Structure 1
Amino acid sequence: MQPRFIRVAGVVAGELPSVVPAKRNRRRASAIVLGLAAAVLASTGPAGAAPGPVNAAPVPANAASGPVSSTRAPVVNRVMSWNLHAGGEDVSAQAREVARLRPQVIGFQEACRADVKEIQSQLKRMGLTYYVAYGTVRGDRWNCGLWGGNAFGQAVLSATPIVERGNQLYSQGGTEERGYMWVRTTVNGKATWVYNTHLAQAGQRTERARQVDELTRATRSRARAVILGDFNAEPQYAELGGMWSSRFRDADPDCGRAENYPACAPTADANPRRKKFDYIWLRGITAPGGNTVVGSPHSDHDMVYAGLR
């Protein structure tokens, strides 16, 4: 398998793209463990949850695999989106990935609440303190582990206090419940509305179009807004038309409504090829350096981040 390169859209002078290995196709080890645990239970029976603008710091060349940076402060204008693969990965490794990038605000999708709490705790031990808000779409016990009490959905971590927060399910989730959440916090010294979402799966374009309509209606009054998320759709898909027409622009300057405009950086494993599903949508904000896509072996989605002005 050929190595895959980190794609930096609008590379900032002095930053060089780095090399990370392509992610392996894999089955979730956790599913195997849970299956074994269920078998044991079946045979034995039960026993008697906040200053001024700066430029985004460059990511180390070995960002996806090297040591955690000794610089502990978050980069105050950096926002990041990452789909965590629904609890099927090494949470400690995911925390180290976040610590290397040091974003001010992080939007997680496919996030198990217990995993987010553990990531938050490990980041604090590494010198990075974050406030957290959850956007639960499922609260039953079978979403994120055999023992229950582990809600599933989106989460936002912010290095500055979260002033307001909210969560809303879409009227039509598709084959799974889906929703969006929002917080008001500080990015680059400015009050900013940050939304985080995960749209319906492949083959459900009608549902995604309705979800985009509901999301853009909810953000209509926000002059300075960021939407992070896994949209399960490439930029040219018709269901994303509502995003472009609502004055949102992707942080990747090479991405527009037309396919290959000229070429969007892919962000997710998909068939028959990798695709761009993960976005940092901006309105009333610019990302002078574009966005950066950093591969990781600890999810089927890449980490995507941008420095905002």
Structure 2
Amino acid sequence: MSDAATDSPRPAPGPDQPPIPVRLVTFNTHHGVGTDERHDLARLATVLAAADADLICLQEVDRRFGPRSEDVDQALLLSRALDMHLAWGPAIDEPRRDGGDRRQYGNALLSRLPVLVSDVHRLPGGGEPRSALQTMVELDGGALWVTATHLTTSSAAERAEQVAALAALHTGAMATGVLVGDFNASPDAPELEPLHARFTDAWELAGEKEDRAGWRFWTSGQGLTHPAGAPRRRIDQVWVSEGVGVASARVLDAEGASDHLPLVVDLLVPSGV
């Protein structure tokens, strides 16, 4: 699906229209291989189901990629297991030598909400290919743009180029939206600075916060997500556009399903936009 958004004005929401609650999860799945080095897609599906989310943005998802993930279509299997719509955004897309289904790897959106628009945008940079999956989902009385991505580990300079490309994707017609994923940099990193002009870090906006600091009291409240066993980096993030509220943000226990921890954010999306 690839429908062009229009710039036609939308009616402003009335003062009596409450915001629409939307629960969103972002999670780097490490192609379903957990901290025990086992590929276990059922374990991953169990973690995701427990989050009870409306939208699930996944990074490092394999589709017939090879032995590391038992050559299965992870995106399709997870969408079926959770009974959710699927939008797919490959970063790697290669033909197979046996002539079968293409070998793919990238970002996925699982959604309880109807997906009205789905586009894949290649991001600049060398090394491992990177992309952004941009979707629009229908809400009851509104709509929400969701851009999911996974930035490079190569260098801050390449991440800066990718951030500039992401910022350019967010046009005036997409005034209500979120940008989520694994940014491989902390929210205050210089290369992420352009995001601050268009978005706000959801973790900072959240009225309630919960993380996995445990006995590491010195990291309490920081929302660290990587590495899963002893997190010390906040590289998995949700950024929201102006007007989108954040009721709560929580780092979940991944039950060993990945080398990252999932982040769940309870959004409050304006009605009538």
Name the TM tier (shorter chain): 0.7 to 0.9
Partner of 2:137 in structure 1?
185
The answer to whether the Cα contact below 8 Å between 2:226 and 2:232 also exists between their aligned partners in 1 is yes
Partner of 2:13 in structure 1?
none
Partner of 2:237 in structure 1?
279
Q: Structure 2: how far apart are the matches of 1:187 and 1:79?
A: 13
Superposed CA deviations along residues 35-62 of structure 1, whole A, max 9, x for unmatched, are: xxxxxxxxxxxxxxxxx756xxxxxxxx
- 1:149 equivalent in alignment to 2:102: yes
Residues 307 and 263 of structure 1: is their aligned pair in 2 closer, same or farther, counting only changes over 3 Å? closer
Residues 285 and 93 of structure 1: is their aligned pair in 2 closer, same or farther, counting only changes over 3 Å? farther
Larger C-alpha radius of gyration, 1 or 2? 1
Following superposition of structure 1 onto structure 2, how do residues 266-305 of structure 1 map, counting pairs within 5 Å? 266-269=224-227, 274-296=232-254, 297-305=256-264
Q: Structure 2: how far apart are the matches of 1:190 and 1:281?
A: 19
The answer to whether the Cα contact below 8 Å between 1:267 and 1:278 also exists between their aligned partners in 2 is yes
- 1:79 equivalent in alignment to 2:24: yes
Partner of 2:61 in structure 1?
111
TM-score of the pair, normalised by structure 1: 0.65
More strand by share: 2
The structure whose RCO (Cα within 8 Å, separation 6+) is larger is 2
Question: What percent identity do the matched residue pairs reach?
Answer: 27
Q: Structure 1: how far apart are the matches of 2:103 and 2:45?
A: 18
Give the superposed CA RMSD: 2.8
Q: Structure 1: how far apart are the matches of 2:202 and 2:168?
A: 21
Please report how far the alpha carbon of residue 187 of structure 1 lies from its aligned counterpart in structure 2 after TM superposition: 4.5
State the SS of the aligned residue for 1:308.
Answer: strand
Partner of 2:89 in structure 1?
135
Q: Structure 1: how far apart are the matches of 2:224 and 2:259?
A: 12
Q: Structure 2: how far apart are the matches of 1:186 and 1:250?
A: 23
Please report how far the alpha carbon of residue 122 of structure 1 lies from its aligned counterpart in structure 2 after TM superposition: 1.4
TM-score of the pair, normalised by structure 2: 0.74
Superposed CA deviations along residues 182-237 of structure 1, whole A, max 9, x for unmatched, are: 11113464201110000001x51000000000100111322101111000001221
Gaps of 5+ in 1: 1-51, 55-75, 125-129
Q: Structure 1: how far apart are the matches of 2:204 and 2:79?
A: 31
Gaps of 5+ in 2: 1-17, 34-38, 64-72, 207-217, 269-273
Partner of 2:223 in structure 1?
265
Q: How many residues align?
A: 222
The answer to whether the Cα contact below 8 Å between 2:224 and 2:231 also exists between their aligned partners in 1 is no
Following superposition of structure 1 onto structure 2, how do residues 225-240 of structure 1 map, counting pairs within 5 Å? 225-240=177-192
Please report how far the alpha carbon of residue 290 of structure 1 lies from its aligned counterpart in structure 2 after TM superposition: 3.0
Superposed CA deviations along residues 221-261 of structure 1, whole A, max 9, x for unmatched, are: 22101111000001221101011122x01110279xxxx9x
Partner of 1:198 in structure 2?
150
> Which of 54, 73, 96 in structure 1 is aligned with 2:46?
96
The answer to whether the Cα contact below 8 Å between 1:109 and 1:197 also exists between their aligned partners in 2 is yes
Partner of 2:215 in structure 1?
none
The answer to whether the Cα contact below 8 Å between 2:124 and 2:158 also exists between their aligned partners in 1 is no
The answer to whether the Cα contact below 8 Å between 2:123 and 2:162 also exists between their aligned partners in 1 is yes
